[in-house]
Amino acid sequence: MDPIQQLYDYLAAEEAQRVARWRPPSALRFRPSELGGCWRAMYYRLQGNQPRPIRPETKLLFLDGDIQHNVIRNMLREAGVELGDLVFEAAGGVEETGASVRAITVPHGDRVYEVLLSGRTDGAIAVDGKMVTLEIQSVGKYKFDQFQAAFQKGGVKAVTKFLRDDVKKRAGARPHPRHGNRRFWFQFQGTMLLREAPQLYVVFKNRDTGEVGLKDHEGGRHGVLLDADPEVQEEIMARCAVVLRALEAGSPPSQEFMEGSTSCNLCDFYNLCWGARNGTGEV
């Protein structure tokens, strides 16, 4: 057997075991990373539906992202940058210790819901003499170039405007398969909600070229220090309340993305919306 095929067979078998071991969530907790996705996917996960297997190619992509996170944090540490909420291991691994659970009371219609946020952060980083929650975002060249163009146009304010205006422009509409920044902005704001943090330091990485940080006109590289957006955070909590209400009713909320979009293609519950049309039932 070809060694690469052996690797793929191993990854497929490992994934089959993961799905077989899967158990429904013990509590209705929302993760910052899913807040900008489809609320129907959140509904299906919290309802206890079994996810479909992840293809070896997708699993390798996710593993590569984990490795890149560790590389960036290890290199920041070697460069003398102060980091927190992390334990560095001898073999280069990094343990994230900034786990949190937060309960938020959310009025919705004639009801009041308790929304639970849960998750771990990418750590904390010293910025201008204070420790700030760290977020590392690995994106493709197309999206990285958009963030780069916004930063060179007007720094952090322009990046914030690009993220937020795009979210507002698409409110109430099904996001285009290749565009839209809701998943980024909602994840960033959800992380700040979870940590009760007024700011978040985001490091963008171009996974196609290896670049880390956005470049200014003089060639300097920067992370982006984002502020909390109370209006969007309120919208996020209202969306979570919609999911909780749908779970009570036993009827899923509407689909928010179009079939063929990246969000749908990578969704654990693709088949529950679209059926096994890709012929594999895999992500």
Could you write out the DSSP letters of every residue in the chain? --HHHHHHHHHHHHHHHHHHH----SS-EE-GGGTTS-HHHHHHHHHTPPPPPPPHHHHHHHHHHHHHHHHHHHHHHHTT--EESEEE-TTS-EEE--EEEEEEEEEETTEEEEEEEEEE-S-EEEETTEEEEEEEEEE-HHHHHHHHHHHHHHHHHHHHHHHHHHHHHTTTSPPPTT---HHHHHHHHHHHHHHT-SEEEEEEEETTT--BSEE-TTS-EE-EEEEP-HHHHHHHHHHHHHHHHHHHHT-PPPP-S-TTSHHHHT-TTHHHHH-STTSS---
pLDDT digits 0-9 by tens, 203-223: 999 999 999 999 999 999 999
Q: Which CATH number fits domain 3-274: 1.10.10.10, 3.40.47.10, 3.20.20.210, 3.90.320.10?
A: 3.90.320.10
pLDDT digits 0-9 by tens, 129-154: 999 999 999 999 999 999 999 999 99
pLDDT above 70 (res 125): yes
Q: Compute the mean pLDDT over every residue in the chain, rounded to the nearest whole number.
A: 90
**pTM of whole model > 0.85?**
yes
Domain ranges of the chain: 3-274
